[in-house]
Amino acid sequence: MADRPLTLMAVHAHPDDEATGTGGVLARYAAEGIRTVLVTCTDGGCGDGPGGVKPGEPGHDPAAVALMRRQELEASCGVLKISDLEMLDYADSGMMGWPSNDAPGAFWRTPVQESAARLADLMRHYRPDVVVTYDENGFYGHPDHIQAHRITMAALEMTELTPKVYWTTMPRSMMRRFGEIMREFQEDMPAPDPAEAAEMAKIGLPDDEITTWVDATAYSDQKFDALAAHASQGDNIFFLKLGKERFGELMGTETFVRVQDATGTALPENDLFAGLR
């Protein structure tokens, strides 16, 4: 590896996803001299438009939203010092069950092998030592997150290049803490119905099943600023309401499950690059 830098590749679904789950590791490893590559699979066109207008409402223009979100994504990459941004530019599929799931060009309806082949080409070019993406459920069931998982795992099979592969996750203890904080900020927030609460309880993992805990507290301000760069989606980014200090306390450690490893590094670990440097 002397002829190339250690490289982290994060595969995400939409503009702003890079900051939420991996902003800390992207900023930390960039500061440590590691090349950071972000692959964003969709254009984010199902996000909020100017003034918070929602998809399907009068005045929502997916093409204009996609352009705005591309600019915000580039600003976020600047904050996180991401070395390389690659966009696959599939159409944002929207939330599960939306008509946009089946729209022409939607990421969700694109054949996995077709998208995976494009991602595999990027993997061959950058030769990442670590790849990070979502778990099989896309963390919370978003179709584009699920599709990003599928194409990443398929691309890895096509290339057989990557020593370490991780899925983002959240400890259940932290999920409960987030719920408490959301109720603190929104006292009139109705309690979820039992079925919704049961589904929410499945998100994340028991703390003892998490393999990798990365302390990126020193970079939490960058992570906050990267999220804030996605200003058009501010209504949907609850964490920005916390303020930087509290945000850092809650979001400074990022957690993962290691699903592929060629280093033999013992678990649990505190560094995605353990065994590689």
Mean per-residue pLDDT pooled into runs of 10, the chain (277 residues): 84 96 97 98 93 88 94 98 98 93 94 98 97 92 95 96 92 78 66 66 84 96 95 80 85 95 96 96
Please, is 85 exposed, middle or buried when counting C-beta atoms within 10 Å of its C-beta (0-12, 13-18, 19+)?
middle
Structure confidence at residue 160 (pLDDT)? 86
Which H or E element spans position 257? Answer: strand 253-261
Q: Are strands 130-133 and 7-12 parallel, antiparallel or unpaired?
A: parallel
| CA dist list (Å): 113 to 69, 110, 117, 150, 158 | 27, 9, 6, 9, 10
Whole-model pTM over 0.85:
yes
Q: Phi, psi at residue 14, to the nearest 5°?
A: -130, 160
Choose among 82, 20, 72: nearest CA to 45. Answer: 72
Would you tell me how many other CB atoms lie within 10 Å of the CB of residue 95? 14
Structure confidence at residue 180 (pLDDT)? 72
Structure confidence at residue 191 (pLDDT)? 64
| Residue 187 identity | E
- Please state at what angle helix 143-159 crosses helix 112-126, rounded to 10 degrees: 60
